[in-house]
Structure 1
Amino acid sequence: MSDNTPAKQRPPQAAVVPLDQIGIEDVSSGAAVFDAWLRDISGGYVNLERLKEVAEVLPVIGNIIALVDAVGDVVNLASSDKPDPLDWVSLGINLIGVIPTPPTMAAARKSLRPMLVLARQEGKQMLGDSLIEIIVGHLNATLLGEIDAFLADAEGQLEAILKECADVGEKLVNNTANAIDAVITGKLDSAENLEAAGRSAIAAKNALRSDPSVVFENAFAALSDAYAAMGKGAANMIMRNAVPEGVQHEVLARTRALRSLAPQMRTQLMSMTSAANPQSIESMRLILHNSSVLWHKRNPKALGSTVKGDKTTQARHQDAKGETEAITRQASAKQAANDSKNGTCASSCNRINFALGSESLDHTDFSLPGPFPVIWTRTYNSRLERLDNASLGARWLTEFTTCIDVVGQGLVLLDFDGRSHDFPMPEKGKPHYDAVEYLTLVRTGEQQLVLLRGLDRRETYARHGDRFYLTHIQLRSGAGAMLHYEHRHNGQPVLSDINTYQDDDPSKVHLQLGTRLDAHGHIQGLWHVVDGKPLRQLCAYHYDGAGDLVAAQDENGAAWHYEYQHHLITRYTDRTGRGFNLEWDGNGPHARAIHEWADDGSFEVRLEWDERIRLTYVTDAHGQETWHYYDIQGYTYRIRHPDGNSEWLFRDERKNVIRHVHPDGSQDRYSFDERSNLLQHIRPDHSTLHYAYDDHDQLIKIRDAEGGLWLRDYDER
């Protein structure tokens, strides 16, 4: 099944994102493209920092995201021998989001921009219900207006808007060219720029501005600030003064070519007022308007029809909100989402993560019931390079072999689900709380850390060298497990015993498990120990010369087999002998799995990552392609299905899904408390369920949509 099918040549994509999911890294990555282009066309003599010092002031509204995208369009147009007409369309849409006059319409223009991007993306005469729901929610969050009236008003104002866009576009091009010329011909002394080196702190504060009521006095300063906010601009700011004559001639020829865009600006942008042009902005406005009218006819504000004969049933329509923004450059995802919070599949059926391309496996070898049940599940994650010398083989761990590594001035938790979490080194007695993962890290001593997983589980870690090893697990029920490290290999401790207990008394041992090591410090197996003697072998492991786990036998004698290259798993067979295969795009720990298939061709999936935005294209065995969009932490916010319909997920700051718009346009809405407990669920028919919890996060009340009250109580355990 492995073939060298070339990747599709895809047109540039834009991401329409919930506004709170756009970070400074995204804005900075777009500004970096403009900075790199400036350096390229100027022979390395001009960058953003220098440009802002000499360029003529160009006021724009406070929408740095649209501004970054607009200069990106200028780069595309200036870099192409035959500009793509769609680049002009993109520039027109982005300039709508930044033109400063008239100021009374700034919020409306800013709101119109992501709507036009959505219409352009779809390329349909009628938009699906889910997209109209997103647009309605976007307007509710920005203008509190009805979509039909808003789009009708835009019709009469579009020509004036695009005239202003053309004026700003001409100034943007000419000011850039003039500033480059000024630097190249020696009209700017670079020594003056040294005073700007300390401005990045101020820049970082204001770089991510998306406020139409604010005006950036100088577009070029705003771009430079956005770039410097990520610590990029000032480091490369000291540029050479003397420009050789040959370089001057070459650069001046390029700026003449850049200026040639200015006369085209008005012609190209004004052509977008014609509905006869299917790619025009007016055509997109008509698509939005007609789709909205049809949607309102199909979706009156109907309420739920569930009725109880002896009670009053309540349901009320509540407008959804969810401001969005469009962006054409994003930084890569930094981590994988928590599966329990993502709200939809964050990975393929066989666990290739859509955001990172990492492969994960969870294989359970044995389970032992009891007050503290021991479920020995091994987890592999292709990104766990810190565990390349692990006792269970490279990049494998269990909930009993988690650890916390000291990295620089901080810590990295290598968690049992295969993901890693960064923490600062906490001061003694000053806990650090991760609201997304519901984890609290406390330093209880110089050599000891305590990790609280919500209110139910407490883990103690003891330091040895640059690693904290798990030594104690306590559950709220009073059960727990003590972990001992009597084995040593190359001076490092290796797990030797697990003793479970109950009633908050470690002396009341319920189960004792022991490990045996091979000559290389790998765990060969675990045994159930009774009265100090091994009674039953629970699992067995075999390793190759590279330290990879190649075979694992469970408590019933059935076995998994694994093959690797550079610790990246390339093939494994389950306990029935069925095989799965993986193909990677590299050899390092950050390589991405791009193709997976079973021996019989089933479960085949191919993955491709967009070069500009956080978007993964996933193609199944039938050739059906699904697009997954996600934020910088790997959480999904949009899925575009093979039929062209989309579902959307909006989140709170703890990554809980607070609004889920389904492909058919129906939606569920949720609210949570500060500990991510669900408090309210508004269903698609607008009926509502309510939930209440005790101080231990235990559900104690449910009020259903018919008014019925359900009560729960718990004992102390």
Structure 2
Amino acid sequence: EQLKWELDSQGYQLTDSRGYQYRFNGSENKSGYRMVSSISTRDGFSVILKYASAGRLVEIISSRGEHIKVDTDEAGRVTCVSIKQDNEEVKLVRYRYDEQGNMIETIDALNVSKYFFYKENHLLIRLVNQGGMSFHWEYEGNGENARCIHTWGDGGVMEYYIHYGKGTTRIRNGENAVTEYFYGSDKLIYKIIDANGGITRYRYNASEELEVIVNPEGYTRKTIYNDFGFPIRITDENGEDTWLQYDDNYNLTSLRTPEGRQLTWKYDEQDRLASRTTMNGQTIRYSYKDGLLHTITDGQGRVYTLLFNSHYELESLVFPNGLSRHWVYDNRGRLIEATDIKGNTTHYAYDRADNLIRLEEPDGNVHRFEYDAMGNMVHAADNIR
């Protein structure tokens, strides 16, 4: 599972394969478990989670200092997530529940709803999306043993029938194309027969990592893993090997292709990328300032400088010749101005759901965009068209 548990002076810490560190110093919930209190990177950036009594989440503070308010009901279920913008509370999403505890409605920042309908034992049988289209589910069995046997959208969209057998699952779509899945007592799929009769086979190692794939044409792809579950040798369908190496913190340090060409990476003490050497031998170097990427030096020694604001948003990029580009953001972190190396500025504006609704080019041409209830763009116009 590529997870590492540690106990130090601050308590328990869980580190995943991406290097994210989880602390569990929050209040206890009703079941007596400590809630996750922070999610951090090795170089010190954190998301902080705050709780009231009984483990009820009340606030999330992002790594850029954004305060996200979380409202909950008496059962501890989230009812609203909101944020302050220009002294106004913007409700990003709201949730409603029925007496059985089922979530029956979500309401987005534009007050558009999705609805959910259930049968007994919390089984979802219908979803009505923001555009009014319904999706449906039918089951066999009840409670935790229930299994979906039929799902479809209005008019037969995305329709599937599912049949369960001993060690097999058979799926038929709305066009009567059938795919069969075969699995063993370990619940791992070892064979798939597709709608054209092609057979793909799978084999796993003792750690249940996918080791061998044989495609319908008979070609084999094989992967060997290290003790932490990262691939160290990949043999492709032509029998050619790619080799990978990692450091003690599981950072990828080397990749060698079947042709013998090599990519290498080096990291600093905080596991940030310090340099990268390409297959043609060019080395690109990276330096950091106040925890943020500050310079990139290419293989010819040319230096690119990056400057960030107090919210860690890229504000300026200075090129080796001294020219620069600049960006400005609103207090939600959305780009509102972009200035190119010639001083031309483009302006951007958004709706409450973060959809781009206005773009003003440097020459004064204004583009306007409209969206449907699902966030799909339905109309675009400018001063010319």
Q: Same fold (TM over 0.5)?
A: yes
Which residue pairs with 2:15 in the alignment? 452
Q: Give unpaired runs (5+ residues) of structure 2.
A: 273-385
More strand by share: 2
- Kindly state the Cα deviation for residue 477 of structure 1 after the two structures are TM-superposed: 3.6
Larger Rg belongs to:
1
Q: What SS does structure 2 have at the residue aligned with 1:712?
A: strand
Distance in 2 of aligned mates of 1:444 and 1:713: 28
- Kindly state the Cα deviation for residue 695 of structure 1 after the two structures are TM-superposed: 2.7
Distance in 1 of aligned mates of 2:78 and 2:143: 25
Which residue pairs with 1:470 in the alignment? 36
Match of 1:538 among 86, 92, 99: 92
Q: Is the 8 A contact 2:47 2:60 kept in 1?
A: yes
1:440 aligned onto 2:10: no
1:634 aligned onto 2:187: yes
Q: What SS does structure 2 have at the residue aligned with 1:576?
A: coil
Q: What SS does structure 2 have at the residue aligned with 1:604?
A: strand
The change in CA–CA distance for 1:710 and 1:583 in structure 2 (over 3 A counts) is same
- 1:568 aligned partner, one-letter code: L
Counterpart mapping for 1:472-491 below 5 A: 472-486=38-52, 488=53
Which residue pairs with 1:582 in the alignment? 137
The two structures, once aligned, show a CA RMSD in angstroms of 2.7
Deviations, residues 677-715 of structure 1 (Å, cap 9, x unaligned): 221221111222222223332223222222222233445
- 1:511 aligned partner, one-letter code: E
Which residue pairs with 1:85 in the alignment? none
Match of 2:81 among 523, 526, 550: 526
Distance in 1 of aligned mates of 2:186 and 2:88: 45
Which residue pairs with 2:356 in the alignment? none
Distance in 2 of aligned mates of 1:591 and 1:444: 43
Which residue pairs with 1:696 in the alignment? 249
- 2:232 aligned partner, one-letter code: L
Match of 1:553 among 101, 107, 121: 107
Distance in 2 of aligned mates of 1:481 and 1:633: 37
More helix by share: 1
Deviations, residues 401-427 of structure 1 (Å, cap 9, x unaligned): xxxxxxxxxxxxxxxxxxxxxxxxxxx
Which residue pairs with 2:118 in the alignment? 564
- 1:439 aligned partner, one-letter code: L
Deviations, residues 492-518 of structure 1 (Å, cap 9, x unaligned): 3311011233xxxxxxx6111111234
If asked which structure has higher relative contact order (CA below 8 Å, sep 6+), I would say 1
The change in CA–CA distance for 1:552 and 1:672 in structure 2 (over 3 A counts) is same
Deviations, residues 365-384 of structure 1 (Å, cap 9, x unaligned): xxxxxxxxxxxxxxxxxxxx
- 2:59 aligned partner, one-letter code: D
- Kindly state the Cα deviation for residue 455 of structure 1 after the two structures are TM-superposed: 5.6
The change in CA–CA distance for 1:457 and 1:516 in structure 2 (over 3 A counts) is same
Q: Is the 8 A contact 2:57 2:72 kept in 1?
A: no
Deviations, residues 508-553 of structure 1 (Å, cap 9, x unaligned): x61111112345543221111479x764221111222222111112
- Kindly state the Cα deviation for residue 444 of structure 1 after the two structures are TM-superposed: 6.2
Q: What SS does structure 2 have at the residue aligned with 1:561?
A: strand
Aligned length in residues: 266
- 2:106 aligned partner, one-letter code: A
Counterpart mapping for 1:48-127 below 5 A: none
**Percent identity (aligned):** 21
Q: Is the 8 A contact 1:455 1:696 kept in 2?
A: no
| TM-score normalised by structure 1 residue count | 0.35
Counterpart mapping for 1:338-377 below 5 A: none
Q: What SS does structure 1 have at the residue aligned with 2:65?
A: strand
Q: Is the 8 A contact 1:603 1:620 kept in 2?
A: yes
Which residue pairs with 2:200 in the alignment? 647
- 2:147 aligned partner, one-letter code: R
Q: Give unpaired runs (5+ residues) of structure 1.
A: 1-436, 502-508
Deviations, residues 194-253 of structure 1 (Å, cap 9, x unaligned): xxxxxxxxxxxxxxxxxxxxxxxxxxxxxxxxxxxxxxxxxxxxxxxxxxxxxxxxxxxx
Distance in 2 of aligned mates of 1:657 and 1:470: 31
Q: Is the 8 A contact 1:479 1:500 kept in 2?
A: no
Distance in 1 of aligned mates of 2:186 and 2:109: 37
